[in-house]
Amino acid sequence: MPETPGPPPAPRLAVIGGSGFYEFLDAPRSVEVSTPYGDPSAPVAVGAIAGTPVAFLPRHGRRHEFPPHRVNYRANVWALRFLGVRRILAPCAVGSLQPDLGPGALVVPDQLVDRTAGRVQTFMDTGAVHVGFADPYCPALRRSLADADEKIVDTATMVVIEGPRFSTRAESLWYAAQGWSLVNMTGHPEAVLARELAMCYAAIALVTDRDAGISAEESVTQTDVFAEFARNIDRLRALLLDVVSALPDERTDCGCDTALDGMRPPFDLP
């Protein structure tokens, strides 16, 4: 009598990104997940890349219905952890704050500045639990992304603003004067929530525009941002396919999995 096949293996890796990434999974299935923090942006798509189980979650929803300040970041990250995910790759669109970074550049940031306001940005709602965040991104995942293409810019500081509006020229000039390179609306609290669940997380940023402070003649428009991202989606998708295919099955000694050691968070890890 033939054996009944067991459940498919749990995905240990996830991509949080835009809807253009649905197509890079083989045989995706939709998985509904309920979390203590509400519903994630959409059901999680679980499929495979080169035989490796991978999950995908559209950050803004299937139809881009959630603006940056309305994304349920806690539910998104919790849902992935619940499904077995331990590493997250996070492609995102960014504006450039430096003249030498033009549209189409790919950047792997190593630092983050939070300029958001009003977002729920922690799972630690009670007790004294202070997770280290000096280095916001997993060093092992960062290295895998940075080594994937010699044209990728390795290291940059990304400032995350509340949105959904773009920056004024004065704000943009101030960010640039601090030495920051990128401006974005979704990188926080996504990164810190992953750290609080002892998950590896790294961003790969696609520059879609030069921010308003670079040139007195230029300003950012949504049309231009969406068009530049669309022009580069195949390139970004191909890069992530290469990175995912080359990643080892298990996490390296990056330290992300021990982020909660010695602490008593107000929840049991899923």
pLDDT of 231-257, one tens digit each? 888 888 889 999 998 898 788 789 999
Report the percent of the chain where pLDDT is more than 90.
73
Domain presence at residue 270: no
Q: What are phi and psi of 51, to 5 degrees?
A: 85, -5
Domain presence at residue 7: no
The three-class DSSP label of residue 224 is helix
Does the pLDDT at position 218 exceed 80? no
Residue 124 near residue 196 (C-beta atoms within 8 A): yes
Q: Among residues 39, 211, 234, 242, which one is catalytic?
A: 211
Domain presence at residue 143: yes
The three-class DSSP label of residue 160 is strand
Domain presence at residue 80: yes
What pLDDT was estimated at residue 1?
Answer: 47
CATH of the domain at 232: 3.40.50.1580
Domain presence at residue 269: no
What pLDDT was estimated at residue 224?
Answer: 81
Does the pLDDT at position 56 exceed 80? yes
pLDDT of 180-189, one tens digit each? 999 999 999 9
User: Which of 57-66, 218-227, 229-238, 244-253 comes out lowest in average pLDDT?
Assistant: 218-227
* Count of domains observed in the chain: 1
Establish whether 154 is a catalytic residue. Answer: no
Q: Which of 245, 244, 222, 231 is nearest to 105 (CA)?
A: 231
Does the pLDDT at position 61 exceed 70? yes
Establish whether 211 is a catalytic residue. Answer: yes
In the chain, the N- to C-terminal Cα span, in Å, equals: 36
What span, in angstroms and rounded, lies between the C-alpha atoms of 189 and 119? 8
Domain presence at residue 8: no
Q: Which of 51, 67, 53 is nearest to 15 (CA)?
A: 53
Domain presence at residue 246: yes
Q: What are phi and psi of 157, to 5 degrees?
A: -100, 130
Domain that holds residue 56: 13-258
Q: How far is CA 256 from CA 62, 66, 195, 201, 259, in A?
A: 29, 29, 7, 9, 5
Does the pLDDT at position 7 exceed 70? no
The three-class DSSP label of residue 106 is strand
What span, in angstroms and rounded, lies between the C-alpha atoms of 82 and 270? 5
The three-class DSSP label of residue 246 is helix
Mean pLDDT within 222-236? 84
pLDDT of 153-171, one tens digit each? 999 999 999 999 999 999 9
Does the pLDDT at position 19 exceed 90? no
Domain presence at residue 63: yes
| 92's tokens | 């995102």
Q: Among residues 39, 100, 209, 253, which one is catalytic?
A: 209
User: Which of 2-6, 25-29, 74-78, 88-92 comes out lowest in average pLDDT?
Assistant: 2-6
What pLDDT was estimated at residue 184?
Answer: 96
